[in-house]
Structure formats: C-alpha cells, structure tokens
Amino acid sequence: MKAGDIWPSCSICSTAKWGWSLKPRMSADLVIDALSMAWFRRKPAPGLLHHSDRGSQCASHVFQEKLAEYAMLCSMSRKGNCWDNAPTESWFNSFKNERIFGERFANREAMKATAFEYIEVFYNRSRLHSTLGYTSPVQFLKDWNATQQEENQVA
C-alpha cells in the first residue's frame, strides 16, 4: 500500500477532506468515489467550482459527467502549472509524513482504517492549521458558519 492509492477531495475554504477513496489503481472510479462522498456529505449548491490537475481520471468522460450531475463547474490546472494543486500536494505530504512514513500495512483494510483515522478523526477534527488561525478544519467551518449567520441576522 502506498499513499498514491488514496485520493482526497478537499475544501479549499476550510482545508477539510470531505471525500476520499482508496483503490488498488488510480482510476476514474477512485476520484468519482471521493467526489461522491464529498457531495453526499456537504450537498453544495449548484455552481461549486471543482479544481483538479489534468490527470486522466479527472479528465475522463465519466468523471466529467459526474461533475455535471452534481452541477459542479470543472476547473483544471494549466499544463505544467503545478502551483494550482499545491493544497492537495501539501495534504499528501502531511499524510505521508505524519501518518504512514515507515508503515507496512498487512492489507488494504489496514491501510483504509489508518486513512480513516487520520482524515476523519485527526486531520479534519483535531489537527491545527496555521492557515486557519490554528484551528481544525471542522472548527474553522463551524466558526465561519456562525459568523455568516450573525452577519445575515444583522443585515
């Protein structure tokens, strides 16, 4: 098992990973599963901008059809522009260094359990992020939503 077998779908607003998938190969199914998990968990309004690299999985017809089904707009990095995908690359670096470096997993289920614990328990709910004012992604989103509600009540 290696970190490349997992695919996160993240929120740039809060850095939270709302959808992720683990498969034996980098396929369109892998990114569709991650996207579907994120969509079902968050149910974003139509018009959400989905950004990805230009990988064949995200460029595939079946993935593009899923974006259209969810009324998401596709955004892809320009060829050779690695900076667009920096948040995802940074997440992979954190995942590899904080959780799986040096680990040997007996099977896919052990890797999946480790990924679940890291993403759902630690990364989204406990890990402090300097870009979020040293709060967790879930706490940042709660605070942001509360601020939005207060501002709407004032207006």
The enclosing domain of 75 has a CATH number of: 3.30.420.10
C-beta separation of 66 from 32 below 8 A:
yes
C-beta separation of 136 from 128 below 8 A:
yes
Nearest CA among 88, 91, 93 for reference residue 58: 88
**Whole-angstrom distance, CA of residue 139 vs CA of residue 51:** 24
Q: What is the pTM of this model?
A: 0.81
Q: According to the model, what pLDDT value does residue 82 have?
A: 64
Q: According to the model, what pLDDT value does residue 3 have?
A: 47
Ordered DSSP codes for 64-94: HHHHHHTTPEEEEPPTT-GGGGHHHHHHHHH
Q: What is the pLDDT along the chain (155 residues), one digit of tens a residue?
A: 444 455 566 656 667 888 888 888 888 998 899 999 999 998 999 998 888 878 888 889 999 999 999 999 988 877 777 666 777 788 888 888 999 888 888 888 898 899 999 999 999 999 999 989 999 999 999 999 899 888 888 86
Nearest CA among 53, 7, 44, 16 for reference residue 131: 16
Question: What's the total number of domains in the chain?
Answer: 1
Structural domain range at position 124: 3-154
Q: According to the model, what pLDDT value does residue 11 have?
A: 59
Strand runs labelled E in the chain: 6-10, 17-22, 49-52, 73-76
Q: According to the model, what pLDDT value does residue 1 have?
A: 47
